[in-house]
A and B are shown apart, each in its own frame.
Chain A
């Protein structure tokens, strides 16, 4: 025991990993890597995998199928990387079971890479365009997600073979103070949203003179439309675990918890397995890598309460109570779980630790901006051509992210707004597109970094409705403890609801404005303090839309259903065409006297199915706001007689 060092203990493990890889490499077989995170699976990756296995068996081709995590290219799922000896590794996108068979036959058997269906190659070559020439790849700078999508998340050796846990073994030979110093020096700020300096938090925990200390990883990602944390945990759980162990070593913690939403069943399964594997190799648990340092790490499943992402509420829920926010101070880092000093950091924060300690604070600071160093991961969804996860250096502006990296707005629509930071964030209009994405610039603009959810909206999105949607969310998720959040958000929602229904009152905008300010100032916790942000920003930047709803009963984006109507332009409707009739769920479409179609405005539920069903060459279904402008066409009487019989 006395002779062994963490490095020596680790080398034995790494040799195992290398041995395994060499055995696989030396077979010289083609490799098919399939992205199998939640979004991949939802897009059909399981079926694609089965199809590959089937096709390989049918063609009698030996190849290795490698289930990997997510690369973040949601628009391209199921995404497959094929390594065929003699070729550069090639990405294929939208690989259906049919495509899988084709790739096996054409590429693996006959050597035709199917130029028309591939995304690109990962290495320079003469034939196939490289993915790094596409903006979606070129602008990215992967630190947190560097290994995601390349390794099998359920195989710890795969992570180790890609350099994982190397940093841990090296750091265990240094003093905890050195580790802490490096993290402080890196300038890393918490990726959970508020951007508190991680090093400062760790130092406070380290300086607390209490024996027991706790490290918690906050993976209670609840923002609708944000899924970075889930994807990271599903794709590379060990990088998060390694970061937590390093944190525990630096602050002197003996207990750790990963707090994950129960709504993420795959993430729960992957982490559970990762914890078992890490413990099996002595990377967590008692006497890590043969040292005196022990760190007990376990998983806790959240039960569906967004407010538990707030750290005091999270602690309550782990202790077995209602997840109700508590007044701070004391901050968890002074007095947290069971009264012990507790460091709570986000998934992305912990995932940044090993790279920082591996390559140094200076390297980390060389990315991003002066005050927000490093990279950030965003999930960009909504009306963009290439939605998905994007990791970029801090300070890249919104225009580059949305219009270049994510390919801009689809269907030739105009950009209208971008919602950053989920229910706590705000909506920014076009004139803010040049805002650099970092903690301070976004806060200044009225939005917020949040945990990294970005929703892009085109001209067909109603900003009042978006504000209503987010308030509906926060209102339902309020813990109910303090007056402002419990009652105030309910009123905000009520007012927004009546505005979207065309029942808004002249005084409503003033009430919204004042009440929002009071809730922001008066609420107990972060959830309440930020809940009015979607209202405040949309009122500031899109006031005329609110006014149109209230004064003219008109929804400029034609999104609010009470204020819009669908009608069929009889000049465009094709006589005898029935396309829309079957699509209507409530039989609101009838045939007019001249055998054209019309909408019964009383029966219509405004689902918009007929608009989709109407053949493009006619495009006869129209949407109009205010609803009264829709022409009223009476049903032919005959039909009613028939009905009456």
Chain B
């Protein structure tokens, strides 16, 4: 076991643990969206889990604890970046919580409360994608304007052959999740699995009603 100091709180963890994981396990909350335990390489795409180590601001999902270290999770520099990233995510998010199935369990709501950021970010125009619902899966609807592109669903989705059924498509700002090529043969896996639905931190993937045609 190795000891580290997070915000003056001493915690003990097995060496090799991801710093973000170490903090979360010890009830020190760090905002995060894209982190998935057990993945060999950090995705580091949501840019929320910043912490400060020796004056340097780094995403805590990219740091492995291999010895004593001093970590601060609540410095002005950390908070500034986190708030900025969250504001950017909210600026492309259709804030219509009352009509969203994720209302009150939504990671964005929780992080916004934690970082004290309003759901309607100031200074930034809201940029939404068209169309707002994509139905290329037999019974799952995708909402691009709710999606935060954390990619957890894509990294978990596997057919029986071990291949991903859902992928990112397009590039840059236009990136979306796509079920391109999903067909009936692979559907039985989807029926059982539903990992993507469980992994989504917001309400971007929704079981269509009625669930089966």
Interchain CB contact under 8 A, A327 and B41: yes
Interface residue? B149 (CB, 8 A): yes
Q: How far is the CA of A479 from the CA of B171 in the complex (A)?
A: 6
Q: Does A257 contact B (CB under 8 A)?
A: no
* Contact between chains at A491 and B172 (CB < 8 Å): no
A-B pairs with beta carbons under 8 A, tally = 89
Q: Residue B47 contacts which of A322, A477, A522 (CB distance < 8 angstroms)? A: A522
What sequence of 0s and 1s flags, for each residue 459-501 of chain A, a beta carbon within 8 Å of any chain B beta carbon? 0000000000000000111111111101111110010000000
Q: Which residues of A are found within 8 Å of B48, using beta-carbon distances?
A: 483
Report the Cα distance A48→B48, complex, angstroms. Answer: 59
**Chain A positions 304 through 329: 1 when the CB is less than 8 Å from some CB of chain B, otherwise 0:** 01000000000000000010001100
What residues of A have a CB within 8 angstroms of the CB of B46 in the complex? 482-483
Total B residues in contact with A, Cβ cutoff 8 Å: 32
Q: How far is the CB of B43 from chain A (nearest CB, A)?
A: 8
Residues B172 and A475 in contact, CB atoms below 8 Å apart:
yes
A479 to chain B minimum Cβ distance, whole angstroms, is: 6
With beta carbons under 8 angstroms apart, the residue of B89, B124, B172 that contacts A478 is B172
- Known contacts A305-B171, A475-B172: does B149 contact A486 (CB below 8 Å)? yes
Question: Is A272 an interface position by the 8 A CB rule?
Answer: no
Asked whether, in the complex, the Cβ of B173 is within 8 Å of the Cβ of A481, the reply is: no
- Chain B residues lying within 8 Å of A476, measured Cβ to Cβ, are 172
Task: Select the stretch in B19-27, B66-74, B80-88, B198-206 that faces chain A.
Answer: B80-88
In the complex, how many residues of chain A place their beta carbon closer than 8 angstroms to a beta carbon of chain B? 31
With the chains together, A494 CA to B125 CA distance in Å? 9
Tell me whether chain A's interface is mostly helix, strand or loop, or mixed: helix
How many Å lie between the Cα of A521 and that of B84 in the bound state? 11
The answer to whether B124 touches A483 (Cβ under 8 A) is: no
B81 A521 Cβ-Cβ under 8 A: yes
A239 to B81, CA, bound (A): 45
What CA separation (Å) do A490 and B126 show in the bound complex?
11
Partner of B149, one of A480, A514, A515, A518: A480
**Contact assessment for B41 and A511 in the assembled complex, using a CB-CB cutoff below 8 Å:** no
- Is A479 a contact partner of B41 (Cβ separation < 8 A)? no
Does B45 sit at the interface, judged by CB under 8 A? yes
In the complex, whether A507 has a CB less than 8 A from a CB of chain B is yes
Whether A367 is near chain B, meaning CB under 8 Å from some CB there, is no
A524 CA to B48 CA, complexed, in Å: 12
B171: which of A480, A490, A511, A522 is its contact (CB, 8 Å)?
A480
Contacts of A483 in B (CB 8 A): 45-48, 85, 88-89, 149
Instruction: Name, among B41, B172, B173, B174, the residue most crowded by chain A CB atoms within 10 Å (CB to CB).
Output: B172
Residues of B near A518 (CB, < 8 A) are 80-81, 84-85
Q: Which residues of B contact A491 (CB under 8 A)?
A: 88, 91, 124-125, 127
29 CB contacts below 8 A, A to B, read A322-B171, A326-B41, A327-B42, A327-B62, A479-B172, A480-B149, A481-B43, A482-B44, A482-B47, A483-B45, A483-B46, A483-B85, A483-B89, A483-B149, A486-B149, A486-B175, A487-B92, A488-B84, A490-B173, A491-B91, A491-B124, A491-B125, A494-B125, A511-B123, A518-B80, A518-B84, A518-B85, A521-B57, A524-B47
With A480-B174, A486-B175, A523-B47 given, can you name 13 additional A-B contacts, CB distance below 8 Å? A327-B42, A475-B173, A476-B172, A480-B170, A480-B175, A482-B44, A482-B47, A483-B48, A483-B89, A483-B149, A486-B149, A487-B91, A489-B173
